Amino acid sequence: MSCQLVLKVLVVYQVSQVADVHKVELYAHWDELQRYMDVSQPLPDVPALEKYRHLDPTTAAYDAAGKRGRPADYWANLDLTWWENEGYPAHLKAIREFPWSTLEDRMEKSVPNLAEAAMV
């Protein structure tokens, strides 16, 4: 096999790996967006929304019932060195290993004729 062919195969393989990784990360973002838009569920537990959790009635009730499972200032007091070295890699691993295909697509159920209008 020529060096050029080996290089092409390697590049295609690496690109497909990146696409697969990005795909599951997109699933995670899509799930977060759906949870954000669904007023029957608490807000996603992410840094950008931490200071607003008490303003959302569903989220406030969820947190008051102790279902969040972490302090109200969790993200504000997070050790960034720990997050970069251990927390974020574990977070990405959980995203990549999560069975995304088992989740119900809440958008599909809430938007009439969405499947018929899809261009995929």
| pLDDT one-digit tens code per residue, 38-71 | 899 999 999 999 999 999 999 999 999 999 999 9
DSSP 31-56: HHHHHHH-TTSPPP--GGGGGGGGGS
Residue 72 carries which DSSP code?
T
pLDDT tens digits for range 65-90: 999 999 999 999 999 999 999 999 99
CA 29/CA 36 separation, integer angstroms: 10
The predicted model scores a pTM of 0.65
d(CA 42, CA 66): 12
